[in-house]
Chain A
Amino acid sequence: MSIRGNGGENKTEQRQLDMSQETLSRKVVVGMRQGLHARPADLLAREARKWQSRIELIAESQRVDGKSILEVLTLAAEAGTRLVIEATGPDAQEALEAIGHLFERNFNEYENDNKQVF
């Protein structure tokens, strides 16, 4: 999982200005056996809304607003689905790290605890 910037890499003042619209992206895989169902979609949208940047989730043919649970649910992302998270804005990097972390932790779902719960 790498964080890749589309903008320049030199740390100048100019870059600081550009950063407000810089788009960063990160690849993630849905690790939960139940897929990206209502609860993780809620956690994801909540986390995304904490950040100023625009957050989008991209599946094969779909691009949705990561701040909306309704939009995230329309991905119907099953276990193993590969997604790209894109963040555009001044706190894009922090937002990607925070959201990427949710995927790394499988949204805190553990098979044994939550076997019966979507």
Chain B
Amino acid sequence: MKFSDFVADDAIRATVVADSKEGVIREMTQSLVDAGKISAAEFESIVKAIMKREDLGSTGIGRGVAVPHTKHPSVDRLVGAVAVSPKGIQFESLDGEPVRLFFLLVSPPDRPGDHLRALENISRQLRDESFCKLLISAKGPAEIQHLLEEADVRGIVS
């Protein structure tokens, strides 16, 4: 699965305002509402579900990356938002490091395979440290989108 298969173009934020775990989750979920990918009426329910998942164990998977996520019956396909916090946010990550790069995923309850393949793609691409650095230092959403597109092309080649 490629980034372009789940990342909503209009839900990419190069500089989040939030400085807390819940804050960044709210901001990213709102970006999905703004992008028309999830319904405003479901906003609180989705944020709550993502926070509930975080309570079971942080999705900060190391290297300054977190993948907050949930299943939610209001979506009929996997949708994702991308955000960068240049200064980093304490996310109780597995390696204790602050998180700068976020991929937030909301998927339909009956599609666990899609969710797995999105996680696969994210983790595979982020093994490339220079790719992480480029995303974190990107100047705006267009640059992030461009980097993700490049990674998609690279993914097909390799």
Contacts and interface: CB of A to CB of B under 8 A. Distances in A.
Interface of A: 33-39, 42, 45-46, 68-71, 73-79, 115-118
Given A69-B94, A73-B123, A117-B56, A35 B71 contact: no
A35 B116 CA distance: 7
Interface stretch (B11-19, B57-65, B133-141): B57-65
B53 A70 contact: no
A34 B123 contact: no
Chain A's interface: helix, strand, loop or mixed, by majority? loop
A76 B116 contact: yes
A33 B112 contact: yes
B78 to A, nearest CB: 12
A35 B113 contact: yes
A76 B113 CA distance: 8
20 contacts: A34-B112, A35-B113, A35-B116, A36-B116, A37-B115, A38-B61, A38-B67, A42-B57, A70-B126, A70-B127, A73-B119, A73-B120, A74-B127, A76-B119, A77-B116, A78-B113, A117-B53, A117-B56, A118-B53, A118-B107
B59 A76 contact: no
Nearest to A49: B94
B124 interface: yes
Given A70-B61, A70-B62, A118 B94 contact: no
Given A37-B115, A74-B124, A78-B116, 20 more contacts: A35-B112, A35-B113, A37-B112, A37-B119, A38-B67, A39-B56, A42-B57, A42-B61, A68-B62, A70-B61, A70-B123, A71-B123, A73-B119, A76-B116, A77-B116, A117-B53, A117-B71, A118-B70, A118-B71, A118-B107
A22 B31 CA distance: 51
Contacts of B49: 116
Contacts of A39: 56-57
B119 A38 contact: yes
A78 B112 contact: yes
B67 to A, nearest CB: 6
Nearest to A36: B116
B87 interface: no
